[in-house]
Structure 1
Amino acid sequence: MLTSNIISHLKNQNWLAAIIDFIIVVSGIFVAIQVNSWNEGRVSKQQEKVILEQLYSDFSDNVDSVNSMALFHKNKASELDYVIDMVATDNIEPTSERAGNALMSMFQMPPLIPITLSLCTTQS
């Protein structure tokens, strides 16, 4: 409707009215583009917040995994020190439960698998 007004004003050579109509159309398009940009920015900030929350959760889980792995290795080192002392003092107790557990711990190595999956599922 507005474009037909512009064409009508141009046919009548009413330049002032045609320019005003043109400015109205251009400013309407500009406002629409600005509103769209604002909305995209708002959605982008919401997605950023979700991603940061997931990263925090993943990092927290990874820190817990690393801490439990450190505790495991600390216990393993203690058991291996026991075995080394037992061998160094030539005081080997083959029937001792602690000696058996210490020897078995030499062959245990749980894997450390960092958590990175939640980020992959949100970006689609």
Structure 2
Amino acid sequence: MISFFRKIRQSLLSQNKVTRYIAYALGEIFLVTIGILIALQVNTWNENRINQKKEAAILKDLHQEFQLNKVSIHAFIQHHRTVLEAIKEVLNSMGEPDSELSEAHIDSLLYLTLDYENYVPSQTVIAELISSGKTNLISSDTLRTLIFQWVNEIEDKKEGFQSLDAIAETLMLPYLSKNGSMKNIDSFGMLKGNGRSKFSSRNLALLQEVEFENVLDNQAWGVTNYFSKLEQLEEIIEAILYHTQPPTS
């Protein structure tokens, strides 16, 4: 094809038809430009089609991962709601006469006040997305924003858990170990087969001490703060699931 155009140019030049040559040259440039534009358009179309397939795969993987996270965080929220209720019940029992309280019940509640856990969601897909820079394949600005909000909230959750754990380790557990019976508390957990303490130390007596009320109030703050982080994560999970749901056929 190129040699064909070259022969035409040479023929026009040899015949001294400069005007026709210029018109022809411009037409040739136009045709070449159109060809390049068409090629670029086809290439862009192919690239977009490939990226759309990649995006669809990403959305599918994200949806599956956050379906799992939805189930797990729901269980964690339910559990820590129980922990909060136990703390509130003990706080409400502070200063009440011993005759109004059950020692075994108080021991079981104290066990729950310490039964907090660290929520570790599945993040394989998001971690790979961010590390590989593939977030730019996601066409939804809202979804990209949610992904980065998730990363930030995970850090906040981590700090919330660390604060709670520090309160329990430096205040709650030392106070109970010094002034109460850990064995009686543990009898409602993994060590329940060991039975109750034979010593006279009674956790029921702690409910008459304002110092313990202050310690327990700090524990309540730690759990409440951590609980709010879990609720924020749950909201983001729901939003990500909404924006990654497969199209209805």
How many aligned positions are there?
120
Q: TM-score, normalised by structure 1?
A: 0.69
Distance in 2 (CA, whole Å) between partners of 1:89 and 1:59 is 48
Aligned-pair identity (%): 22
Structure 2: gaps of 5 or more residues? 14-20, 135-249
Shift of 1:42: 0.8
SS of aligned partner of 2:126: helix
**2:120 corresponds to which of 80, 88, 113:** 113
Contact in 1 for aligned 2:90/2:109 (Cα 8 Å): yes
2:58 to 48, 51, 56: 51
Bigger radius of gyration: 1
Alpha-carbon separation, structure 1, partners of 2:89 and 2:58: 46
CA apart distance, 1:83: 3.6
Q: What CA distance in whole angstroms lies between the structure 2 residues aligned with 1:83 and 1:40?
A: 63
TM-score with structure 2 setting the length? 0.39
Match for residue 48 of structure 2 among 29, 36, 41: 41
Could you list the per-position Cα deviations for residues 61-116 of structure 1 after superposition, in whole angstroms to 9, with x for gaps in the alignment? 333233112210222234334544655342352xx3x5433222222221123433
SS, match of residue 111 in structure 1: coil
Two-structure CA RMSD over aligned residues (Å): 3.0
Alignment of 1:24-35 (within 5 A): 24-35=31-42
Q: Distance in 2 between matches of 1:101 and 1:43?
A: 58
CA distance in 2, matches of 1:89, 1:55: 54
Displaced runs of 4+ in structure 1, greater than 6 A? none
| C-alpha distance in structure 2 between counterparts of 1:4 and 1:19, whole Å | 17
Decide which of 66, 75, 81 is 1:74's aligned counterpart.
81
* Bigger Cα displacement from structure 2, 103-112 vs 35-44: 103-112
- Is the Cα contact below 8 Å between 2:83 and 2:116 reproduced in 1? no
